[in-house]
Amino acid sequence: MKLVRYGESGREKPGLIDTEGGLRDLSALVADIEGKMLVPESLARLRDIDIGDLRVVEGAPRLGPCVGAVGKFVCIGLNYSDHAQEAGMPLPEEPVIFLKPTSCIVGPNDDVEIPRGASKVDWEIELGIVIGKPAKYVAVDEAYDHVAGYCIVNDVSERSFQLERGGTWDKGKGCDTFGPIGPWLVTRDEIPDPQALDMWLEVDGVRRQSGSTRTMIFDVPTLVSYVSQFMSLQPGDIISTGTPPGVGLGMKPPVYLAPGQTMHLAISGLGEQRQRVVAAG
């Protein structure tokens, strides 16, 4: 299933994408695409419905973040071997974990803001893992049982805040609008191998990132298991799994975003995002 949330910001309704690419409303069956609705039993009930009985949503409404009420937004740094090489950094011996505040989450096609005082805003296309079953001290071979599905994440980053202002990475990762997710939450059964997904990102039509989840250093089950050793994961939590090469920081000379530009990004089977870059008010 491809699950969506649509409508104006803060008032999104649940929906799904049918086999013809149309949007169907799920409001009569579930309150939202979040938490308790993502557990295996709830997803199984949704799979049993007759999609033809669902109301067709006309027009092209805004798509919101594909998961509502996200509890934790966990991110993994330097998780692609070719990106670590691009950054001139050694391959990590263990996953590098940081957190993005959930206040940064926006819809897949919402504007991305250049924060006040920013000078080095960068892009990062990533595979997002959506948790569907509580996970604590999970073994690697049981990790997939805790995954509801996957989505696209753009881990927007301000490099001067991240790397030049002291402290941890979080200052450069958590600004408002720095976490577009979606367009869909694609359930795990539709993605048989999350380590075989092509991905790309363009800025103003110029291809900047082109990669594959094949080059991830730590794969999906390893990451779910590893993170669960340090914090319990709950349904609706998201793990963003790192980015392939081609970020602005890695270019010579570095290239960063400016107001008026557009990012366009996609992962095979997970849809596309498109964001306009604007100055913060």
66 contacts 182 by C-beta, under 8 angstroms: yes
Look at residue 161 in the predicted model and tell me its pLDDT: 95
Look at residue 85 in the predicted model and tell me its pLDDT: 75
Look at residue 162 in the predicted model and tell me its pLDDT: 93
Domains and CATH numbers, the chain: 2-53 (no CATH), 73-279 (3.90.850.10)
Whole-model pTM over 0.95: yes
Look at residue 82 in the predicted model and tell me its pLDDT: 80
125 contacts 265 by C-beta, under 8 angstroms: yes
Q: Which amino acid is at 83?
A: H
Look at residue 89 in the predicted model and tell me its pLDDT: 75
Kindly list the distances between the CA atom of residue 117 and the CA atoms of 98, 145, 162, 256, in Å, as whole numbers in the listed order: 23, 43, 13, 14
The whole-number mean pLDDT for each consecutive block of 10 residues of the chain, a chain of 281 residues, reads 98 97 97 97 96 95 98 96 77 95 98 97 98 98 98 98 86 97 98 98 98 97 98 98 95 96 98 98 84
The partner residues of 271 in beta bridges, in order of sequence, read 267
The beta strands (E) that lie in 204-261 are given as 206-212, 238-240
